[in-house]
Amino acid sequence: MEANIYFWIGFIAFVIVMLILDLYVFHRKDEVVNVKSALGWSAFWIALALIFNVGVYFYMSHDQALDFFTAYILEKSLSVDNLFVFIMIFGFFNIQAEYQHRILFWGIIGAVIMRAIFIFAGVALIQQFAWIMYVFGAFLIYTGIHMLVEKKEKEAFDPNKNIVIRLFRKLMPVTEENDNHSFFLKKNGKTYATTFFIALLFIEASDVIFAVDSIPAVLAVTQDQFIVFTSNIFAILGLRSLYFALSGVMDYFAYLKYALAAILSFIGIKMCVNELSRDLDWHFHIGNFTSLGVIIGLLTVSITYSIYRKNQSLRS
């Protein structure tokens, strides 16, 4: 069943209402988000996604419900990589814990807009040029292999070298003052961007890079725009809570990147194989149920092994 205009209006209205409540009711004060609160909010967002999933099952179809759940798990797992970047960004710019939620909030709004653009553009490309699936698949395989062999040093992390940040600094003066949580401030009649805005700008630039990986991966699950969009947005809305819940224990996820690399490569292979099967009229097809099993299996093994290795190092 195809989602009608009322489904779209209802979901977008829901997202707007939740964002307004988040900023002006639930988190209107700048305060440190403790782990207990973050876990509660993470559970809340996951529960909302699952309730929505049940709605898709009853009001749309069983297949679309499976597509949504697979796409949601895939996007949720890939978005964990964002959390490592958030930690490095806030550490580099010395953003106090009580101000991090507000920066991430506005980062999420930008991410929602950019994801919508990427999703509709990606679906349009696939509908117009079916061969683009091979390009997306090959790109995901390359990204997975690159993630596997890439070695990132925290010491070498410098957002100021990013081309977006460098361009912005040429267009507008930036102050290093951190005693005001505003994105902009005036000094001597001149407007300056603060490091809070630079951190936000880098988060937005990073999300574009992550979207280039994650959107093609989700499009391998389904090209249903409503399912792709809603699963992405639910994963993004819960990302802030997940960050505050896991930021103190990210060392326990040291081997997660290997699972994410394998997942991206597997999805890339799936895209190429399924498209080739359609072109050659084969009956072989890698279904979403298989994809879901592979994704959950890889995540479980990597997280379990990460926790095991961390506990081993603590004992020694």
Tens of pLDDT, residues 15-55 = 889 888 876 766 666 667 777 888 888 899 999 999 999 99
Orientation of helix 97-128 relative to helix 132-149, angle to 10° = 140
Q: How far apart are CA 280 and CA 275, in angstroms?
A: 9
Q: At residue 192, what are phi and psi to the nearest 5 degrees?
A: -120, 145
Orientation of helix 5-21 relative to helix 97-128, angle to 10° = 170
pLDDT digits (tens, 9 = 90+) for 218-245: 888 888 999 999 999 999 888 888 888 8
* 259: three-class secondary structure by DSSP: helix
Q: How far apart are CA 93 and CA 90, in angstroms?
A: 5
pLDDT along the chain (316 residues), means of 10: 85 89 70 78 91 94 94 87 79 80 84 86 84 87 84 61 80 74 81 86 82 84 91 88 77 82 90 88 85 90 88 77
Q: How far apart are CA 109 and CA 82, in angstroms?
A: 15
User: Is-contact 258 148, C-beta < 8 A?
Assistant: yes
pLDDT digits (tens, 9 = 90+) for 132-142: 889 888 988 98
Mean pLDDT of the chain: 84
- In the chain, the percentage of residues whose pLDDT exceeds 70 is 91
* Cα three-residue angle 48-116-51, rounded to 5 degrees: 15
Q: How far apart are CA 217 and CA 237, in angstroms?
A: 19
Count of Cβ atoms closer than 10 Å to residue 308 Cβ: 12
Q: Where are the alpha helices (H) located in the chain, listed in sequence order?
A: 5-21, 35-59, 62-92, 97-128, 132-149, 163-171, 195-219, 225-237, 239-246, 256-279, 288-315
pLDDT score of 229: 93
DSSP 78-117: HHHHHHHHHHHHHHHTT--HHHHHHHHHHHHHHHHHHHHH
pLDDT score of 106: 84
pLDDT score of 253: 80
Domain locations along the chain: 5-315
